[in-house]
Chain A
Amino acid sequence: MSAQQILKVFVTRRIPQEGMKILQKAGLCNLSVWDSDEPVPRAELLKGVAGAHGILCLLSDKIDTEVLDAAGPNLKVISTLSVGFDHLAIDEIKKRGIRVGYTPDVLTDATAELTVALLLATARRLPEGVEEVKNGGWSTWKPLWLCGYGLSGSTVGVIGLGRIGLAIARRLKPFGVKRLLYTGRQPKPQAQEVDGEYVPLDTLVGESDFVVVSCSLTPDTQGLCDKTFFSKMKKTSIFINTSRGSVVNQEDLFEALSSGQIAAAGLDVTTPEPLPTVHPLLTLKNCVVLPHIGSATYSTRGVMSELTANNLLAGLTGSEMPSELKM
């Protein structure tokens, strides 16, 4: 390889300016960008990655064997604008010696904030309230109208006390949460900071007033929240998922919500995304669905964009990445 070789990079979407500037200024790469807010069609993706040394992608791009084959042997680095990596065929990528950059930590605050926002909106019935106000359902102040469930004196259970799970727990504490339970493969020393109690999954599910799912999507967590799970929850409990849609069995969730087995649910992630507008979950008053906006703040997306660009450049030059995924 000649020292002056221009490296080819395919960017699968228009990304925030902060990241683009970094890529352009580096002068290393011949940038080919799918310059749109909409996803690159599959055919275009396969064409665009041909001969690429680096791919900068989003979580909506499946980087599987087909894409890797289409890219060819030059491919050294994949940099994703996300902390989740379930859209990447990790085994294949590892086999080919390709490095992966991702964006942990920088989006923790925004995602934890959104999770708490969703929990509160669900528990205190904000979308219902807004609806009633607009359609004339609001007459005068009534003692029990639109009452919800408060966090004060409650038990909160976090499934997966990782970076985001811990950040969520920190934010919930001052609302007067009485007990903070968590579960996972093993106890975490950092749980002490939030007085977290490590318990078996069943205990968490049975005793929590608020169940918050914050784990990564793996073969173990796929479909974790199913009929059995919901049947063990309290009738007055609230279920929140901002991790990945496939952790939840949506048919079972619909059953649990419509039959009053649990009080309400808030989801920022679904299967598929987008969730079709005819989906039964969207008909339920006690189900709040957000279109995957966990990290959607201007500053966070800008920082993610910078990190993604820097990860990519490091991968191209064979240097240390700011955030490399250990595979």
Chain B
Amino acid sequence: MWCSRTALGRLQKIAPCTVTGFHRAISTLPKVYVTRKVPPDGLDILRKSGQVQFEMWDSDDPVPRVELLKKVKGCDGILCVLTEKIDAQLLDAAGPNLKVLSTMSVGFDHLSLDELKKRSVVRVTFRDSFLEVCVVYVALCVPRGIRVGYTPEVLTDAVAELTVALLLATSRRLIEATHEAKTGGWGTWRTLWLCGHELANSTVGILGLGRIGVAIAERLKPFKVKKFIYTDVEPRPELAKMIEAEYVSLDELAKESDFLAICCALTPETHGICNWNLFSKMKKNAIFINTSRGGVVNQEDLYEALSTGVIAGAGLDVTTPEPLPTHHPLYTLKNCVILPHVASASYTTRNSMSALAANNLLAGLRGEPMPKELKL
């Protein structure tokens, strides 16, 4: 396909090139595949841009793998969500045209970053003197490797808000309470019934102090939290200053926190970091909240800790796997609240993510700086 394009180009006597000029001159818009029916704002941007021709898996449910591998063939860009594994198999199926991968998420553990870095934009070499100049020019002005766009920051508010919502629902036993109200467990007002643990005078610990961790702490402050502490691969003084948080070791974090929020990215280092070693050091009244990635938590150890009263309660928005099968033991625990990965699920946020993903994609295809590019 590349060869026939070049033949056409030579016939049309193309002027000195940029990648976009090359494409426009051929009057073939870049080909894009959108792997899910994303919220309307992003789709509007793609349609109205006039810069791409796109196909979409027009469903709320994920595109089957076989279909996905078929559809990405020859694409210049892919807009995906976090359920699609962008690995060597998919990149091979897409082929050498692929320049931009835009994910509608801040997490990127579904992307094989090594594979993405490895693959160059232009693979074919030419002997024709004119085109050799072109190829060199392209290689100089376009970074090697497929560029990746993602959606940090636009979802920070929604995620921080949901994390606090989940923390409060867990510590104040809201799910138990709504259940009692519906099933006749509600008698008259009683002095110690359904009592929970309050944030006032507590110590809140954050594992992984990034944008989201800071946003969570900002929202918790007026509840009269006494102290914020955090741990991370290294101190984060600028972020910590915003919330007056003290840097501590993982052990100290476990021992001192009344409320522990997990906010780190999922990496080989953080995989399973919340295990018996951590839980066994925590306070009996402690509340554990995870809205980062399921893989950070050892779920068997968490079940042990919750069922034996080693910690008071847990709230999870992310699990392994997702969805968590309905027979999983964690569901049997009154002191475990599980949500189906809805941290960024507000109408405005999902539309903002969609718009940003679309804009990242278009900028990448134009060879311009993206609003939010992931540095590989």
Contact = CB atoms under 8 A, between A and B. Distances in A.
Interface string A266-307: 000000011101000010000011111100111111000100
Contacts, number: 220
B219 A126 contact: no
A297 B187 contact: no
B81 A124 contact: no
Contact of B172 (A58, A114, A129, A132): A114
B191 A290 contact: no
The interface centre, meaning the residue of A16, A39, A120 with most chain B CB atoms within 10 A of its CB, is: A120
A109 interface: yes
Given A124-B161, A150-B348, A38 B187 contact: yes
Nearest to A132: B340
A63 to B, nearest CB: 15
Contacts of A293: 172-173, 177, 193-194, 196
A81 B192 CA distance: 12
Given A133-B338, A149-B347, A275-B186, A170 B180 contact: no
Interface stretch (A2-10, A26-34, A137-145, A309-317): A137-145
Contact of A16 (B60, B83, B191, B342): B191
A289 to B, nearest CB: 5
Nearest to B38: A143
28 contacts: A15-B191, A81-B191, A113-B200, A117-B168, A117-B172, A120-B164, A121-B165, A121-B169, A124-B165, A124-B345, A126-B165, A129-B340, A133-B340, A135-B326, A138-B324, A140-B323, A141-B82, A141-B322, A143-B38, A147-B350, A150-B348, A153-B348, A170-B222, A175-B164, A175-B219, A293-B177, A297-B196, A305-B191
Interface in B285-322: 322
A171 interface: yes
A143 B198 contact: no
Given A118-B174, A143-B81, A143-B104, A124 B342 contact: yes
Interface in B189-241: 189-201, 218-219, 221-224
B195 A296 contact: yes
Interface residues of A, number: 72
B329 to A, nearest CB: 13
B37 A143 contact: yes
Given A120-B165, A130-B175, A297-B197, A289 B157 contact: no
**Top 9 closest A-B pairs, CB basis?**
A120-B165, A117-B168, A150-B346, A274-B186, A291-B186, A138-B323, A138-B340, A297-B198, A152-B157
Given A124-B342, A130-B337, A143 B39 contact: yes
A296 B181 contact: no
Interface in A144-196: 144-153, 170-171, 173-176
